[in-house]
Each structure stands twice: as C-alpha cells, then as structure tokens.
Structure 1
Amino acid sequence: MLTPHSRRSFPILLILALLLAALSAGCGDPEQKKQAHYEKGLEYAAKGEHRAAILEFRNAVRIDGKYADAYYQLGLAQLATGDPQNAYRDFERASSVDPANLDALLQAARILLGSNQPRESRQRVEKILAADPDHLEALILQATIHLLEGEADQAAVVVARAIELHPDLDRLHLLQAQIHTTRRQPAAAEAAFKRALALPPANIGKHQALAGFYLSQQEEEKAEAQLRQSIAAFPDSPQPHLDLAALYAGRDQMEQAEASIKQAIALAPKDPGLLLNLGNFYRGRGLFDQAESAYRDALALATGEAALDIKATLADLHFERNRREEAEQLAGEVLAANGRHGLALQVRAKLLVAEGKNQEALTILNGLVRDYPRWGEPFSTKALAHFNRGEMELSHTAVEEAVRLAPRDAQARTLLAQHLFQKREIAGAKNEAIIALRLRPNNFRAAIILGRSFLHNREYQEALELFTRMNELLPDNLEVLHHLGLTHLARRENESAAAIFSRILKQRPDFTPALGSLVAIRLQSRDLAGAIALAEAQLAEAPDHLDYLLLLGELHIANQDFERAVGVLRRGQELAPEELRTYLLIAQIQSKTGRTTEAIAEYRALLAQQPGQIPARMQLGILLDQQGDQAGAKEAYREILSRSPRFAPAANNLAWKLAGEQKPDLGEALRLALLAKEQAPEDPHIADTLGWVHYLRGSHDLAVRQFGQAVAGLPENPTIRYHLALALRAVGKITEAKGELRRALELPAEFAEREAAREMLAGWEKE
C-alpha cells in the first residue's frame, strides 16, 4: 500500500526515469557513436598518436562497415605506423565504398608500386585519371611506373603534360631530369635539374640530386662545385659538408674528407650523429683507435635510443677488433635496456658464431632477417653460421642476399668468393675476390682466394706476384708464406719451395701443410727414407701432433714397416679417439698383413669385457666392413652412436654404408653425414662422404663443394678425384671433369674405379 508521500513522489520518479532513458537512447545512437570515434581518431592522428587513432577508427568502422572516410583515415594511420599491408586493405575498402575517394585509390596504387606490383598500381592510376585527367599525383605516379617499366618515352609525355599544368612545381622537373638521364640525354637532364633548383622551396636535396647526376656522368669537378654551392646556400647546415666528405672519400682524398666531416661537426658540436659519422669514417679506413674515440664522444652527448644505437655500434667495433669481452658487455647493456635492439642482437649473433655456437646464433639471425629484411649484415652473418655448420646451400643463398642488399659489404663478397671457389666457379670467385679487395684493400681472406684462383687456373706468374706482394706486406704470416711456397712448387721450383717450407717449420714446428709439402718434394724425388726421417725429426719438435703421427704412419705403411706404423697410429688414436683416419689406416695394415680375422676376434673379446670401448668398437666396424659383413659393420656403428650420438667417425661410416645400399635411405645418410661434418669440418674423408650423399641425392653443386674440399685435403687420393669428376660432369663443367679424371688416372695409387674412370674418360673425349 502506497503512503501519501509515495504517491506524490511517483510522477517525479517516472519523469526522471524517462529522462534518463531518453538520454541513454541519445548516447547509444550508432551515428553519433561512430562520429565520436572518428573525431577522436582525428585528434589522436593530429598529435601523432597513430596507434591510438587506429583503435578509434576501427571502432568507427565496426559500427558502420561502409564508413569510407574512417577507412581512409585508418589506412593513413596504418601507414604512419609502418604497416603498408593493412593500410592497403583499408584504402581499397575506402575506394570500394566511395569510388569518388580518389586519394584512397592513389594511396593504394603507391603501396602496390612499393611492393613491386606495377601492373596492379597502373590499373588504379588509370581509374583516377579516368575520373580526373589532370590529377597531379596520379600523373606523377603514372610517369614513375612508366620509368620503372623501361617506358621512358611514355614517362616523358606524361611529365610534360604535368609540367604544362604545374610549371612551377620543382619535383616535376626533378622527375623530368631522371627521365632524360634514363634516355641518355645528359644536357636535357642537367637543364631540368637546374630548373628544379631555381624553383622554390630551397632545399639541400635538390643540390644533392644535381651533384649526384654530375657524379653519374663522371664530372667530379662539377659535382664538387655544386656541393660548394650547397654549402654557400645553407651555411648553417652540416649536411652539405657531409656530402662533400662522401665525394672526397669516393675519390680517395681522405684528408679532405676528414676535414669536411670536422667542419660539419663544428657547425653542430652537440650533434652525436655527426660524431658517429666521423667514427664510421675512421672505422672504414681501419683507424680503430680514432673510431673508438669518436664513438665515445658521441655516446657522451647522446640520450635515449640514440645512446643505445651508439653503444651497440661501439660493441660492433670491439668485435671487429677481436675484443670480445668488451663487445659482449656493451651489447648486453643495450639488450638489457631494449631486448629487441637490432644491432646489439647482431653483435650477440656474431659473438656466438665466433664461439662456434652457430645454431644459437641462427636463432637470433632468423629473427633479425625477418624483422629487418633489407639489412644485409644479418644475412652475411647467417651465411657464415650456415657455412660453419656445413649447410652450404643455405649459406650460399644467404650470402647472395647479403651481397644484393649490401653490395659494398667486403665480408659478404669474400664469403661469396669462397662459395664460388668451392663450386669450381673460378671466374666468379676471382671477380668477387677482386671486388672485396677493392672495398677493403687489406682483406686478407679475399687475397688468398684470388691467389688460389690463379693457382687453380695455372696462372702461376699472377699467383707469384700476388703472394710475393702479400709476403712483403705480411712477412710473418705463415699462410701467405705457405701459398708462396705452393706457387713455387707449381712452377717446379722445388728448391725455392723447400726453402720456404723449411723456414715456416722453423717459425712454427706444428704447421702441418709445410711438412706435408716438404714430404711431397722428397717423395717426388723417390726419397722415401728421407721423407720418413724428415717426418720423425719434425715429430720430435711437436710430439703430440696428430697430423704428424698420421703422416708418419702413412710413410711407414708405404715403406712396408707395419709394426712401426701401427705403433705410431695407436699413439694418434690415444690422442684423438674421434679421428677417423687412424682407424682406417690401422684397418688397412691389418688387412694387408692378413690379420683381419684375428683382429676381429681380439676386438670382440675386448668388447665383451669393456663394452664402452668406443675406439675398439669403431675398429671392429671397419674390419667387419672390410670382410664384407655389412650388417655387422652397421650394427657396430649404430652401437657406438647409441653410446656417443655425435661420434663423427661412426656417423660418417654409417652414412657411407646407408648410401651404398640397393635402396638407400639418403635422408638418414645425409643426417649422419652432416652430423659428422659438423663435428669434424676439416676431415677430407667426411667431406667425401657428404659429397657422395649429395651426389646421389642430385644436389650436384653441393657435391662439388665437398669433393673439392676432400681433394684439397687428400690430393693423392684417386677415388676422391673420380668422385669430383662425376660431380663436375653433372653440373656441366666438362673440361674440369676431364681434368680431374686424368689426374686420378695419373696417380700411382690403385683404386677400385680405375677401369671405370679410364672408360669414362675415353667416352667423354669422343663427345
């Protein structure tokens, strides 16, 4: 029951409720809501808060899916945040809902052209011009598309029409200058550049464009004069001085370049970017102390993200100087502040590669190449990591991308030269090595590849001149000295070669290639006793040197002194149980002396007592293999891998056995061969196995690389040269394939494929 008071209050409460309902209904009106979101988005965009603007514009189009203006503004905001893909989608929706929105259509056309879709971009430009034939931006875009598509004449017609409509627009004259340059009309191009320069607004970019044109025409004096005009026109700007410094550096006038950079710094002494530029200049010249000083001065002035960038650059310099602890410390400081900092991550990846942690590095690098697809250096480091893991195809692909993105990256050029050399593409290897040396004249590795290319092509005089010059510059570098010795050896100047190899061994008694070359000279003279004496004397200087033990063991085998050979090889096996060659040589001796069955019984008895004896089981597997017990050999190798999954000799031999089966499991063979390769990247037997698996899989380029490495390590092994010949033939290098077959047949060592090689060579000669 209502009280008198409640009766009087009821109408008032009802009126208030109805009023609130009316207000709520008004606030909930979709038209008003979408407009509110749209206007809020415009406010955010005007303040540069584009991500907040995106949220508001999205709310607007959720309310009204045909709100063309909101779609257009959403596209602009997406562009501002570096998201052209979503921006394109929104511009397309805006123009679809409102065909009169030519600006949306234009933005979509620009994005399409930027993503290398000129045909689709052209279609949208034509729609704009059909609606508005005098649309300036559409005419400019149409001319640009013609120019990019090689249609310079059509581009000239379009720009001429645009200039008729807007004769005082400087950028039209700049575009016309580009078209004249493409059409090889330098006088007309120069005139167009000058017209643009005379028109407002005044800006440095137009001076840069004209100077760049002069440089492209090899008119360096005019370019310099133009840059000096720029300095006069903008006396307070550091930029023209930096431009002049770049010109001087390109002409190798380094003192003038340095002075120009310092003049730029004098105009803006508090600008850390200018000091960073100076540091980069010094670093490019190899003046690392000066570079470090400039970077530290820049760091003292910088704040925020700029300071992190400079600190990461300094870390990268430390890495280049092989000061890895300092590089790691600085990179770590940057990453602690910004865990996604690109250069700091790149430095961390390079450190991991240097430590042999290639897979960890690749985890970082894969993220970098995804996030920075146009930055060349991560691709270069990625290529090196794959190279170290024996993943040559992945490495080659990555380094080609690095060179495409950063054609002046000397390290990438050098690695590409290495790949081409391994593939026996000697002309390409020479070219890349020469470019790398031009970019960095002190590029040691590129010079070595160039010299090796000369040797491979029998250009002995060129090789002699190069390695002689390198030896003058680096008199204590044993690798250079060794290649100089090899050059004399190739020229049949054995005395000069022997003197160089002896000199190397006096400086470094454990330098294997020098002893190997000296022994080869003795063997060419049929002085086996002298070769043995030489190896024994050198082993006394380096008693635990595995390669010397292996070499001496092989010499004793050649001398039929099997007891001494086994003793020497057993010492090697104790030093390095994972070394494949000791097992092979001991098995060879046991086979030659008719002790295979007896040795197998001894190994079985030993393993019954000590099943974890991996060297004994490895030797058992090889002997079973020699006896034709394929199943027993594979069982032995698998047992080893179950106990020691990364034991390279067992992985290698099992890979070889699997590849040789009637129905081979080449996938498993490849996995095992790659595992062995990663553990022993320099072992020529393992390179031969991996090459053979690649060959059987049809990956002939990769096979050539591995067989090439195996031949370099075992040049007197005819079977490996036979394998290399097969792979060279498969990739179309017929002349080189014939050469390898001839070398295999000339070698004195017997090999199972000799008759097949002889018949094959005869067949190839008839073709």
Structure 2
Amino acid sequence: MASYSYSISGLSISILPIFLLFLVLARHVFSRGRKRDDYGPCRTRPMNTMPWGAPVVTAPHKFASAESFFEIRTILLILLCAIGLTFAVALPGCSSESAQSLYDQGMERLAAGNPKGAIVYLKNALEKKPSLGAAHLGLGDAYMQLGKLNSAESEYKAAVEQNAAGKEKVLLNLARIALMQQQPDKAAEHAQALIEANPDSNATAAAYEVLGSVALFNKDFNASQGNYTRSLELKPESEAAAYGLAAVAFQQGDESKTRTLLGEVLAMKPSHRKALQLQAALATQERNSETALAANQALCNLNPPDTRGCFVAGLLLMDNGEFDEARQIADSLLKNSSGKAEGQRLQGILLYRKKDYEAAAVALERSYKLAPTPETSFYLGLTYFANQKLDTSVSHFQRVLDAAPAFVTARIYKAVAFLRQLRLDEAQAEAERAVQEAPDNAHAHLVLGSAYMANGKLDKGMEEMEHALEIQPGMVDAQIKRGIILANQGMLDEAEQSLEEAVRNDKDNLPTRLMLFSFLIKRGEHQRAYDLMSDALTGTEDDAKVYNAQAIARLSQEQRDEAMELLARAKEAAPGDTSAYMTRARIFLAEGNKEDAKKEYEELLQKTPDHLPAILQYASLLSLTGETDAATGMLEKAKSSGEPAVFRMLAAALYEQGSKDEALAVLEEGLSHRPSHEALLIQAGRYRLAQGDLDGALTNFSRLEAVNYLQGISMKAAAYLAAGNREKALEEARRAPLLDPDSADGYAVLASTQARLGQVDEALQTLREGWAKDPGKLGMLVKIGDLELSAGRAEEAAASYQKAITIDDGFVPALVSMGMLHEQNQEFEPAMEFYRKALQKDPGNVPALNNLAYICASGHGDAAESLQLALRAYQQDPSAPLILDTLGISLLANDRTGQAVTVLEKAAAQLGDNPTIQYHLARAYHDNGDIQAAKDRITRALELGEFPEQAKAEDLAASIAAKDRG
C-alpha cells in the first residue's frame, strides 16, 4: 500500500470526538498519578535499599512507583487505540478517492511544474487502477521533466502496451530519449514508426526533426538537411528544425549560411538557448569578439542562466578591460549554487589577470574541488607558473595533458617551466612532442629552439627559430631570440636587423622596443636609441620607462641637463616608478651632490617605504658620509624583509664599528631566514675566523658545503690555512676533484690551495689536468694565466688569456685579466680598452669597474668617469676594502677630500697592513689640511715595505717634512 500524507483539513470530522476522548482519559490518568505521588514531580524520593542491601537513590521522576509504571502502560494503550481509531476513520475517507481523481490531481501538479508531486498521485492512481494507461503517460512526462530518462522510457512503453491515447506523443518522446542516450538507430526507429502511423501531423514534423538530428549525429549532412527541411514544410514555425539546419551548415563549415539561419531562429525566439550557444561558438571561431560577447551575455541573462555562457562572457569582458563587469558576473555565479565552480574559476582568472597570483590560486583551487576540470587545471598551471612555483605549475599542466594529450598550449608551458628549472632534457622532450603534435605551431618551434640552445645545440636552435618565423613571420619572440643568438655569435648587424623587425611587427610592444634600445646603446648608437624611444610615448604611465631610456641615451652623450629633465618627466608620468629616482640619485652622487641624492632617496622611500634597493643604496650613502647610526637604523628596520643583502650590509657596518659580536648575531639572524644562503654563511665564517674561532668558522663552512660542496671545501681549506694547519688544508682541498673527476671546478679548488702553500708548479699541473678533463671551462685558462702572472711569467700568462679570448672574444674573466696584465706593465691605454670591453659584455663586473676607475683616478683618464665607475662598484660591494680604496682616491681626484678621508679610513680599518691604502689615506689627510695625521699615515705606509706607489709616497713624506722644517 502506498503511503499517504494528509493535511488537517483532509481529516474526517468524525476523528475529533476520538481525540477529545483521548484527552479526557489522559487527563484522568495524570491527575490520579499526581495524587498518589506524595513527593511531587520534581523531588527525590527517600533512599531505599535493594533486596541485596545496596542503597539506591531513585531518579527525580513523577512515575517512579510501580503504580506509575502501570499508568504508563495504560496511557500507551490508550494512545495506540486513539491512533488506530484515527486511521480507521481517516482511511476510508481517503480510500474513497477515485483513481480518476488522483490522476487529475497528479496532472494538475505536473502542469504546475511540480513533477515530484505529480509522480506520487499518478502512482497512487495506478495502484487503484493498474489499467489506467494515461497515468503511465503522465508519469513518463514527469520523469522526462526530472531528466530520469530510463524511468520515462519504461512508463512510455507501458502506455503503449496499454494502448493509451497519445501514441504519437509517446513515440516522439521515446525517439527523443533514445537520441539523448546517444542511441541514434533506436531514435530513428521510433521516429519512423510515428511517420508511418500519421505522415502529416505536427508530431510527424517533430519526428522528421528527430531524423534530422540522427543524420547530423552520423554526419550524413544531406540526409540531415532533407529531414529538417521536411519538418519545416510540415511546421514552418518549428524553431528546433530551423536550428537544426543552422547546425548542419556549421558542421559543413558554411559560416555565412550558419549566420543567416541562426538569425532566423533568434528572430522567432531570441532566448533560444542552443541557437545562442551556436552563435557564440561561430563568433569565437570567426574571432568576432563583439558578437561572441553579446551571445554569451544573452545566455547568461536566461532564466535559469547558462553558467558556461556567463563564464565565457566574463572572460571576454576581461579581454576588453572591463574587469568590474567581469567581477559582477563572477559574484552572480557564486550566488547561484549551480554556478559556484564557474564563479570561483572566473574569479581566479580575474585575479590572475590582475597579477594577484596568491589569491588567484586560492579561488582556482576552490573551483577545482567543486569541479575538477582540465580547464581549471590549465589556469592553475598558468597561475603557479606566473608565481614562479614551477613544480606545482608542471603538475597542473600534466593534469591537463592526462585528460587532453593533444592540448599543445599546456605542453608548451610545461616545456618552458622545465627550461626555467634548467631541466633541459625534459624541456627538449616536451617541446619536441609539441612540435610533433602541432607542426604548424610557431610557439612550439620557438620553445624547441630555446631548449636546443640551452642544451648547446645552437645550430638546431637557430633552425627552429627560423622555422617559427616561417610559420608566423611577425612572431616577435622568435625575432628577439634570433637577434640574441646572432649578437652572441658576433653578427651584430644581422642581430640589429632581427630586433628592428621585431619592433616593426609589434610597434606597441614596449619591452621589445626597450630590448632594441639596449642593443643600440651597447653598440654606441646613442642617438638612434634616443630616436627609437621617441615614437613610444603614449600618454600613459608607461611613458616613465620611455623617459628613463631616453635619459640613459642622453647621459651616454654627456647631455646631463637634458637627462635630468627627462628623468623629472618620468617621475611625473609615473610617481610610483622607482627608476627615475634611483638614476637621479646616482647622478647627484657622481657629482658629489650628496644632499640632492639624499632627497631623491627620501622622496622615493616616502612613496615606496619597502623599496629594498633604495634602502640599501641610501644606507650606503649614509655610511659613506659618516652617518653610521642613521645607516644602521635604516638597515635594522629593513631586517623585516628577510633579504640577505640587508643582514650582510648591517653586519659589515657593525663589524666595522667594532661591534663584532653584534655583527655575528645579525648574520645568524639572517641565516634563520635563509639557512642555506651562501654569502651569509661565508661572511659569518670569515668573521669567526678573524676572531680566532676556527671551529665556529668550520661549522659555517660545513653548512656551506651542504649547499655548494666546492665552495664549502674551498672555504674550509682557506680556514685551515689561516689557522696555520697546512696539512689539513691540503687534505681538505684534495677532496674537491674526487667528488666530480670529470669537472674542472674541483681541480681549481685544489690548485688554489696549492698556490697559497707556494706549490706553484703543482698548482699549474693541477689546473692543466682539470682543463684537459673539461676543456669547455675557459675559466681554467684564466686561472692558469693568473698563476703564471703571479710567478712572474707574464708572457705565458698573456698566452693563456689570449687563448681564452680566441675561443670566446666576449669571455669577461679573460678580458679583465688581460687588462690587469697590461695595467701591471704600466700599459694603461690597452688596459683600459680591455676593461671597457669587459663592461660592454657585463656592465656590473666589479673588478673591471674598480680597476678602470683606479686608472682614471690615477691621472690616466677622466676624473668624473672615475667617480661614476667607483660608485657603481661600491654599490655592488660596499664593504670590500679595495673598492673603498678606489672610491677614496676617485673622491680625491674630484677634490672631495672630506668624503675621501671618511671612505679611506674605512678601508684602512679593514686592511691596516696595506701600504697603498695607508699612503692614499695620508694623501687625503694632507689635502684636507690634517698634516699631523698625514705624517703618521705616510710613516706607517713606508714602514710596511715596498709597494707600487712607493716613490709617490716618499715624495709626499718629503713634502710633509719640508713643511715641518719651514
């Protein structure tokens, strides 16, 4: 018997006396119970004793006595009797309802959009009258509305077996169910039966529509078109058949016909869901973003909304820069329970486009939990890729490829992620597969070319770049990389041509233009570089980058005033852009205008208080001018950044002030943030070693070895040497080549230790052995040359340097060493030439900057250039005493004696036994008017032994003595 549900209004009025009788009886029993309960309903009874003598306290309950239990049973019996009587009275009233009445109520609910309620009544009708075929038909319709196709099919078949009226509708629905279940043959069978039964009805028109869909499913386009056309002949207003013809045209690739037919469908019914979906697909295929957006917005505005349409509309709005509108769609989807996954995904992509990668990842991960689609995995891959979380990025791209192996874009990104991780073989394998799957994809060839180049296969890399440009002649990335390859091969004209082509193909691409600008600056074509940027002004914040570039060109042309004006414009264009402030500060510093330099740093730090490069440079400036407390105060505040450079600079400042324990504490604090940072470990180890703490130093260097085994072994060997333990130093160094016998690096470590022990011939033999094992390491030739030079064999040294330059004329260490050789021989012009060549390749090379500045300050070049070069070297390594020495004499050469004294005092504090630094400090004191201090320092310098500038030092001593006599 089916269960029924009743409202109170459905009960027979005869039930009420029974309820009243039940209430009277209950009241009577309860009242009797209360009279017999002497203790009341809420009081505990006295303690009793169980038969075995154990005391028990009864619960505070009004039915605690045996008589109360009898009353409970009585009440329960009364209650059961009442319920039974209620149903006895009620059920006859219900059972008297006829099957027809139940059927009518079920159909009313179906018409009202309540298929679940309809199913209850229709099933009850069939229980009363199993032969009611119309009820089976109604149940079939109800199940169809709920999407329960198998149940609907069973009910329709039952209706047919009972010869229910509406056979045409049953056959049509059976055909549609079969079509939805992707059973085209069964669908065609039902549709054909309908046509044979009645060839001219509206249902027959729908049957031809089904046959059209079956033929379209089977890609029989002619049959499909014929059946849809026949359907329209029978029923011209059929939107479904008209849509079917549009779908056929789309499948046949006839975009114009598809567009026309869709227009007719949407004219009949503007909210036709499938027609709007096809219109969106067609517009996307034609790259008609405006129509695609309109179609997807229309889908999104339907009731219920098409969540996919909303999502795509949001993407298209983002492409138009309408981020607020896209966010509104995302918010709307999030409020709709069926659209939460799309809402989270759209929100994640919006945050990704705004470069808020952390928040984007959170939203996309939520979307993936709700609906783990390959599309979401792809966007997660992009987000983690942009946030430099490459391992996670690769995992998500692999998820995409597991679901869709032919999705080439995911494979290309995966290959690029491998490239960035220097997993070169894996990158090459992925890129090769991408090219196999999509041989006409220019980006796949570009990435494969990059992988080949990273693996040293330059010819194959260039071949892939050329292939990418053949497929997509205007491909900017390929032209840029091709230009870089050509430049590295010394084909500068061809490289310039390739970069210019890249700019022509993408005139609005500022990074490409800036790359060509840098190339022209390096080639010395300063005016061309300036003119190139003149065409890039757009009236936006990007103009700051343009003005900055033009300022660099003007500085290269020694047009200082115009450069400063351009930098001022850059600050106006983008007040938050830091480059202009930093450049102006460097210019002021080079001119000795420390006050204006300070103003630039202060203005910048007011706008961006956490700008670390500005903090470090400003702290260096304060330290340089003797404002050590202010410098250390700034650095103390900057420690919260956790950046190693802050801890290193602060430790150096404290160490220089004599607070050696505090300096070590700062370095250990830095290591708590970055336990494996090599420079922090080295600096801490050196400070401990200087304090005589060999064990502490070795602990730091052992930690270093775990990160960089060669560097760690080298520093441990040096520590043993400093402690006078020569045997232990050599024992340690001999481990290096054993760890990787085929690499030259280990041999270099051993040779360095041998050289420090005075074993020059053994060291040279070790270096040559390493070079033979690993001839690709040109640095070994430079080390051989350096060792030859230290042994006084200048010609052999020059031959080694030249050999490296012959193999690679841009190898900076060889260029710097050749410059040092010429400088040692007092051949200043060729020395300066080699240093300049090195700086063209590596503008931040500290030895080249320092040595070139020293030559210029010594009267063999421009004093102003000397100070610029020395400041650049100092900003990269502000604690190195030799760099401080060069900066000091550069300041002297520019008549800035007070600052020179401050800087040289710092250098002398670190290298008190260096006679050259003592002599330079004596000069600074002398020029600053402190003759007694100058006399003390020059005496100290001459006591320390011979040095290159000894003759000049003796002249200064004589001059001071003459003043004393006078």
TM-score interval, smaller chain: 0.3 to 0.5
Provide TM-score, normalisation by structure 1. Answer: 0.47
Higher alpha-carbon Rg: 2
Provide TM-score, normalisation by structure 2. Answer: 0.38
